[in-house]
Structure 1
Amino acid sequence: MEDRGPVFDGIRIGRPATGALIEAGYASVEDLPDDLAQLLHLHGVGPTAVKRLGKARAKPGGGGR
């Protein structure tokens, strides 16, 4: 897997999680599923990354649905 850096859509979640999300076809927080726990099955995405993505989505303008 190509090194995609530690930041996904402006959120620092780490290199493995960023790469896993991009490889799974996600380009932004808005693209992620409503239930972020679904991302835990992706190799490289752990609870800390999911927590940070959830916090970012909850912020105004953070891709919340």
Structure 2
Amino acid sequence: MAKSIKAICIDRHSVSNDFLKGIVAMPARRALEKKKIDSLEKLTDYSEEELLQFHGFGKTTIQKLKIYMRDHGKSFKL
């Protein structure tokens, strides 16, 4: 039996770590992994405007990240 398209996409585009799992959606997590951003410290090197240029990032994702980063004593680059 052939695999469904969703199963193929999951196999080919999975994220290899758990960074921000449950915080932001998979498209944003894949974009971060592609840019080798795998910690909050690396995320602080980027501004909100820069992150909004990444595929999978929108205002909702940025808002979730701002709250998560604030709760962990971090913030975006100004």
Tell me the TM-score range normalised by the shorter chain. 0.7 to 0.9
* Larger Cα-atom Rg: 2
**Hey, what's the Cα distance between the residues in 2 that align with 1:27 and 1:63?**
17
TM-score (structure 2 length as normaliser): 0.63
Deviation at 1:14, TM superposition (A): 0.4
Match of 1:25 in 2: 36
Which ranges of structure 2 fall in alignment gaps of 5 or more residues? 1-11
Percent of residue pairs bearing the same amino acid type = 26
TM-score, structure 1 as length reference: 0.73
Q: CA deviation at 1:4?
A: 1.9
Distance between the aligned counterparts of 1:50 and 1:56, measured in 2? Answer: 10
Report the number of matched residues.
Answer: 62
CA RMSD of aligned residues (A): 2.4
2:59 to 26, 47, 59: 47
| CA distance 1:30–1:11, shift in 2 (3 Å) | farther
State the match for 2:7 in structure 1: none
* Structure in which a larger fraction of residues adopt strand: 1
Structure 1: gaps spanning 5 or more residues: none
C-alpha distance in structure 2 between counterparts of 1:11 and 1:28, whole Å: 15
